A and B are shown apart, each in its own frame.
Chain A
Amino acid sequence: MAAGGAGGASKTYSFKVVLLGEGCVGKTSLVLRYCENKFNDKHITTLQASFLTKKLNIGGKRVNLAIWDTAGQERFHALGPIYYRDSNGAILVYDVTDEDSFQKVKNWVKELRKMLGNEICLCIVGNKIDLEKERNVSVQDAEEYAESVGAKHYHTSAKLNKGIEELFLDLCKRMMETAQADERAKGNGASQSSTSRRGVQIVDDEPQAATAAGVGCCSG
């Protein structure tokens, strides 16, 4: 099974989640905190923090979470679609002290909605709330924006280990709901092999569909 993961009721769900965001917003710290519960620790056992997995049990259902880190440098921006195709969720991280990184998140949201429509669960994450004093992105702005694009907004601090568990747990629940809805739709008659198989082909005339689904507000 490719993206959607599960087969039946008692099956294990496998979800792919991409981490998007600018260079120094703390994507890596976030996942390392989540999967290893470590922050800036010299004794981190993992060799790398770019692909991490986590096994969860949510409401008696097993979930395998694969977290894909992406290169945040501007020059790799164009490679985004290769990373996020077939992903079930995306975590868009910005630094609350860096207005610019929030703009980048907005760009990502637009792109993801355009390419993947509403199949993907979006989480917008303001990281580094331990630096509240230096905050440059207002909470209200961020939350309003998130709501307007059908995303959930979270505040986290990888340093203080705040909000991270909730973020991933929430995301998993939402992805499970989406997957179950998908299954029901499939059960209603659509041939299953076509959707569950790989290869999201990037179609350019998708945006109308996406905007119709409620992304109308984000202009420019």
Chain B
Amino acid sequence: MQTFLSGQQLEGSGVCFFGLKAILSSSTVSALLPARSPPAPSSPASREMSQKSERRGIHVDQSELLCKKGCGYYGNAAWQGLCSKCWREEYQRARQKQIQEDWALAEKLQREEEAAYASSQGAQSQPSLTPFSKFEEKKTNEKTRKVTTVKKFFSPSSRTAPKKALAARLKDSHEGKTPSPSISRQSSIETDRVSRDFVDFLKTLQKPGREIHKQSRAFIEGMANKKDLGADELSECVQDFYQNMSDRLMTHFKGSSERVERVMDQVEKYIMTRLYKNVFCPETTDDEKKDLATQHRIRALHWVTIQMLCVPVDEEIPEVSDNVVKAITDVIEMDSKRVPRDKLACITRCSKHIFNAIKITKNEPASADDFLPTLIYIVLKANPPRLQSNIQYITRFCNPSRLMTGEDGYYFTNLCCAVAFIEKLDGQSLNLSTEDFERYMSGQASPRRQEPEAWPPEGPCGGSSPGLAQVYQNLELLTGLEARQERVLEGARSLESDLISWQESVEREVQQILEKYPLEIRTPASAIDSDNVENDRLPPPLQPQVFAG
């Protein structure tokens, strides 16, 4: 708690300054708004003129023109009927009151937030959310009251570099009208934590710490007003600041560069967390366009294989493929960091995984000859989001001593090389003919289809993935099956025709025989009587009768 308090003291003046400035601009506008709304002439002077000319026709009592405070001077409708002097007093008082109110609110919120932090560091606590939403509510109310000023808040001047948690919160809620409180809260928590770390760290330095803090704060404030500058100018500002700061630290620490580095790391972290939103992929540059181009490019190169790049990594070894996956994750993670140094750390971690993969495969320390192709392969596989923006951001805002000479710098340089290589990649750099390269790029063909006969020998020794090998095996099996089915079908068809012809031949034979031996029905030679069945039905044979006569 002790550390906390002094941190607050350190910050105190900054909050005050900010509060004053922000409220100054907002209350000026809000106070003027009601006066402006009636169809009155815009400037008090012209209004007085028109009143004088109207005097002839309409009678206006002298007392109505005087200051309402009764000081004897003329009043002015634009100043709510007061004279300039009384108006200033009145206005000053109202403003003071508002400042105090806002101030109290700010303090209260901060206390609540800190309490919430103390109770739970990791998990976001419920109680702190409530005051925040209340705060949001108030903020939106204010906004509707002075809609015309909303625009002002988006302009650089409104970002008067908030110093403390609350101030950062204010900014977040101004900027992100759309995101839900939880999102803006997330980022403000990070800013918050970083500032606290920074203050804690500076505490260990005692007096110079205070000075460093003051300068960093002033710098952020200054930067907020320079938002319209191009990316290079912004970078220039930040780099100048680093330079001045480290020069000053150098004299203070009497040349102990290690300590200077340590402080500079913290300064960078603090400053860049704050500035990130404004200076990452700024609108003044075409970083975003380049990001998209690179992304498309990498996607179009999906067919590039480990063999084409001569990557000395055997992904069939589980440990190796494990490292490859980790490397890919790390390079993707870079985009989620805010501080250039953290981004660099992601690249370094990615590189270490690559080295592991190479070392396991080759059983010797990796040289640059091995490393660069592998990094290119990883970048192609990962297609990291906003790659160009991230590279630009690091180049512009990282502490140069780290970027240019250290180990991190080396890996970063390699990443830049990998990207440059991918951008310029052509058939020659993959040992392919230009035509083949074009065909693969346009998607008309894929390397495997092109040269199926080249695959079986390449597959096992080149160490293509086991999945691919399986696929090829299956394909082979399928072709075999197809042939066999074809044969079966053919057999069936010939059987069918056999059957048909057999039937026909049988029919023909029968016909022939029938023709040869036509059916003759001969009448039976025996007496009809002998086998007459219906004998008994016949009338009895006539008996000879003798007639006398």
- Which partner residue on chain B sits nearest A44 by CB separation? B365
Q: Is A53 touching B407 in the complex (CB atoms < 8 A)?
A: yes
Q: Is B367 touching A76 in the complex (CB atoms < 8 A)?
A: no
Q: Is A83 touching B429 in the complex (CB atoms < 8 A)?
A: no
- Which partner residue on chain B sits nearest A22 by CB separation? B369
Given contacts A82-B417, A82-B420, contact A71 B405 (CB under 8 A): no
Q: Is A198 touching B403 in the complex (CB atoms < 8 A)?
A: yes
Stretch at the interface among A11-19, A89-97, A209-217: A11-19
Bound Cα distance A8, B428 (Å): 49
Nearest CB on B from A118, distance (A)? 20
Question: Is B371 in the interface zone, CB < 8 Å from A?
Answer: yes
Question: Is A137 in the interface zone, CB < 8 Å from B?
Answer: no
Q: Is B359 touching A51 in the complex (CB atoms < 8 A)?
A: no
Bound Cα distance A10, B255 (Å): 8
Q: Is A66 touching B257 in the complex (CB atoms < 8 A)?
A: no
Nearest CB on B from A36, distance (A)? 9
Nearest CB on B from A101, distance (A)? 14
Q: Is B255 touching A47 in the complex (CB atoms < 8 A)?
A: no
Given contacts A8-B255, A50-B371, A82-B420, contact A14 B365 (CB under 8 A): no
For residue B240, which residues in chain A have a CB less than 8 angstroms away from its CB? 193
Bound Cα distance A79, B369 (Å): 13
- Which partner residue on chain A sits nearest B363 by CB separation? A42
> For window 333-371 of chain B, which residues contact chain A by CB distance below 8 Å?
352, 355-356, 358-359, 363-369, 371
Question: Is B243 in the interface zone, CB < 8 Å from A?
Answer: yes
Question: Is B416 in the interface zone, CB < 8 Å from A?
Answer: yes
Bound Cα distance A64, B371 (Å): 24
Partner of A49, one of B250, B257, B363, B365: B365
Bound Cα distance A14, B184 (Å): 42
Bound Cα distance A160, B365 (Å): 20
- Which partner residue on chain B sits nearest A29 by CB separation? B367
Bound Cα distance A14, B410 (Å): 14
For residue B505, which residues in chain A have a CB less than 8 angstroms away from its CB? none
For residue A79, which residues in chain B have a CB less than 8 angstroms away from its CB? 372, 417, 420-421
- Which partner residue on chain B sits nearest A49 by CB separation? B365
Chain B 406-428 near chain A by CB (<8 Å), digits 1 or 0: 11001101001100110010001
Bound Cα distance A10, B243 (Å): 20
- Which partner residue on chain B sits nearest A67 by CB separation? B410
- For A10, A11, A14, A47, the residue with the greatest tally of chain B CB atoms inside 10 Å of its CB is A47
Q: Is A51 touching B407 in the complex (CB atoms < 8 A)?
A: yes
Given contacts A2-B404, A14-B405, contact A51 B410 (CB under 8 A): yes
Number of A-B contacts (CB under 8 A): 111
Partner of A50, one of B255, B356, B368, B416: B368
Chain B 308-333 near chain A by CB (<8 Å), digits 1 or 0: 00100000000000000000000000
Chain B 260-273 near chain A by CB (<8 Å), digits 1 or 0: 00000000000000
Question: Is B464 in the interface zone, CB < 8 Å from A?
Answer: no
For residue B501, which residues in chain A have a CB less than 8 angstroms away from its CB? none
For residue B424, which residues in chain A have a CB less than 8 angstroms away from its CB? 78
Bound Cα distance A7, B403 (Å): 18
For residue A76, which residues in chain B have a CB less than 8 angstroms away from its CB? 372, 417, 421
Question: Is A75 in the interface zone, CB < 8 Å from B?
Answer: yes
Q: Is B371 touching A83 in the complex (CB atoms < 8 A)?
A: no
Q: Is B368 touching A11 in the complex (CB atoms < 8 A)?
A: no
Q: Is A50 touching B421 in the complex (CB atoms < 8 A)?
A: no
Question: Is B3 in the interface zone, CB < 8 Å from A?
Answer: no
Bound Cα distance A198, B403 (Å): 9
- Which partner residue on chain A sits nearest B365 by CB separation? A49
Q: Is B404 touching A47 in the complex (CB atoms < 8 A)?
A: no
Bound Cα distance A72, B417 (Å): 13
- Which partner residue on chain B sits nearest A71 by CB separation? B372
Bound Cα distance A6, B239 (Å): 18
Q: Is A16 touching B372 in the complex (CB atoms < 8 A)?
A: no
Question: Is A142 in the interface zone, CB < 8 Å from B?
Answer: no
- Which partner residue on chain B sits nearest A84 by CB separation? B413
Q: Is A72 touching B368 in the complex (CB atoms < 8 A)?
A: yes
Q: Is A82 touching B416 in the complex (CB atoms < 8 A)?
A: yes
Given contacts A53-B407, A82-B416, contact A28 B367 (CB under 8 A): yes
Nearest CB on B from A41, distance (A)? 9
Nearest CB on A from B109, distance (A)? 41
Partner of B366, one of A12, A42, A47: A47
Q: Is B365 touching A46 in the complex (CB atoms < 8 A)?
A: yes
Q: Is B404 touching A70 in the complex (CB atoms < 8 A)?
A: no
Q: Is B369 touching A23 in the complex (CB atoms < 8 A)?
A: yes
Nearest CB on A from B242, distance (A)? 9
For residue A68, which residues in chain B have a CB less than 8 angstroms away from its CB? 368, 410, 413
For residue B421, which residues in chain A have a CB less than 8 angstroms away from its CB? 75-76, 79
Q: Is B410 touching A66 in the complex (CB atoms < 8 A)?
A: yes
Bound Cα distance A193, B243 (Å): 7
Partner of B367, one of A5, A11, A27, A82: A27
Q: Is B404 touching A16 in the complex (CB atoms < 8 A)?
A: yes
For residue B367, which residues in chain A have a CB less than 8 angstroms away from its CB? 27-28, 48-50, 69
For residue B365, which residues in chain A have a CB less than 8 angstroms away from its CB? 28, 32, 44, 46-49
For residue B413, which residues in chain A have a CB less than 8 angstroms away from its CB? 68, 82-83
Nearest CB on A from B357, distance (A)? 11
For residue B14, which residues in chain A have a CB less than 8 angstroms away from its CB? none
- Which partner residue on chain B sits nearest A88 by CB separation? B405
- Which partner residue on chain B sits nearest A193 by CB separation? B243
Q: Is A11 touching B255 in the complex (CB atoms < 8 A)?
A: yes
Bound Cα distance A50, B429 (Å): 22
> For window 124-175 of chain A, which residues contact chain B by CB distance below 8 Å?
none
Nearest CB on A from B240, distance (A)? 7
Chain B 261-288 near chain A by CB (<8 Å), digits 1 or 0: 0000000000000000000000000000
For residue A82, which residues in chain B have a CB less than 8 angstroms away from its CB? 413, 416-417, 420
Q: Other than the known A5-B405, A48-B355, A76-B421, what 7 A-B pairs have Cβ atoms closer than 8 Å?
A: A7-B250, A28-B368, A28-B369, A68-B410, A75-B428, A78-B420, A197-B243
Q: Which residue numbers of B lie inside 8 Å of A, CB to CB?
A: 239-240, 243, 246, 250, 255, 257, 310, 352, 355-356, 358-359, 363-369, 371-373, 400-401, 403-407, 410-411, 413, 416-417, 420-421, 424, 428-429
- Would you mind naming 17 contact pairs between A and B with Cβ atoms under 8 Å apart? A1-B401, A2-B401, A7-B250, A8-B255, A11-B257, A23-B369, A32-B365, A48-B366, A50-B366, A50-B368, A64-B405, A69-B367, A72-B369, A73-B310, A75-B428, A78-B424, A193-B243
Q: Which residue numbers of A lie inside 8 Å of B, CB to CB?
A: 1-3, 5, 7-8, 10-12, 14, 16, 19, 23, 27-28, 32, 42, 44, 46-51, 53, 64, 66, 68-73, 75-76, 78-79, 82-83, 86, 193, 196-198
Q: Which 4 A-B pairs have the closest CB atoms?
A: A69-B368, A28-B367, A71-B372, A51-B410
